[in-house]
């Protein structure tokens, strides 16, 4: 049990020493230092408790978010559509331009969510594509 709860005393902040109040009138330097050191000893425990609470909170958030996430995965030889990105979009097409182009075939899986593509004439695309820029093509 903290010292301040047993004796009903509180630590005085140095800025409050110049102000006259009931707390300042009962101020004793030795007792104040003892109380301040007592609070400093509890500081590490409070930090650890806050860190534990934050980790639990982040885990709960991650579980809740991951419940609604639908993973998109493709196998080799799957047909996909590719999102039209800014540098390949026709400037004169306007807002009614198609958002997806293709169809492309997945040739290899480069990693988690990264795919190499080729068009239907078996011409390889120069760089890998992320799963967020692809969607399955149903014919």
pLDDT digits (tens, 9 = 90+) for 25-36: 676 777 778 878
Q: In the chain, where are the structural domains located?
A: 3-68, 79-136
pLDDT digits (tens, 9 = 90+) for 89-125: 666 777 778 888 878 999 999 888 899 999 999 899 8
Looking at domain 79-136, its CATH class is: mainly beta
CA neighbor of 7 nearest in space, from 138, 21, 24, 26 = 26
Q: What local confidence, expressed as pLDDT, does residue 51 receive? A: 96
pLDDT bracket for residue 6 (50, 70, 90): very low
CA–CA separation, 137 vs 139, rounded Å? Answer: 6
Is there a contact between 90 and 99 (Cβ–Cβ < 8 Å)? no
Inter-residue long-range contacts of 100-105, CB under 8 Å, 24+ positions, other chains counted: 100/135, 102/137, 103/79, 103/137, 103/139, 104/79, 104/80, 104/137, 105/77, 105/78, 105/79, 105/80
Q: What local confidence, expressed as pLDDT, does residue 4 receive? A: 46
CA–CA separation, 117 vs 72, rounded Å? Answer: 16
Q: What local confidence, expressed as pLDDT, does residue 18 receive? A: 63
Return the beta strands (E) in the chain as ranges. 79-83, 100-111, 114-119, 129-130, 134-136
pLDDT digits (tens, 9 = 90+) for 9-68: 566 566 655 666 666 667 677 777 887 887 888 888 889 999 999 999 999 999 999 898
Q: What is the mean pLDDT of residues 73-88?
A: 84
Phi, psi of 99 (to 5 degrees): -90, -20
């Amino acid at each position: 049990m903290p010292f301040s709860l047993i004796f009903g005393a509180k630590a005085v902040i140095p800025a409050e020493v110049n102000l006259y109040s009931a707390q300042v009138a009962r101020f004793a330097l030795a007792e104040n230092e003892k109380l301040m050191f007592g609070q400093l000893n509890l500081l590490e425990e409070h930090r650890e408790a806050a860190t534990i609470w934050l980790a639990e909170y982040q885990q709960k958030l991650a579980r809740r978010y991951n419940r609604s996430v639908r993973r998109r995965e493709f196998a080799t030889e799957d047909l996909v559509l590719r999102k039209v990105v800014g540098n390949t979009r026709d400037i004169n097409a306007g807002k009614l331009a198609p958002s997806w182009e293709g169809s492309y075939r997945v040739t290899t899986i480069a990693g988690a969510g990264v795919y190499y593509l080729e068009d239907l004439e078996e011409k390889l695309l120069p760089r890998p594509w992320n799963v967020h820029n692809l969607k399955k093509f149903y014919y």
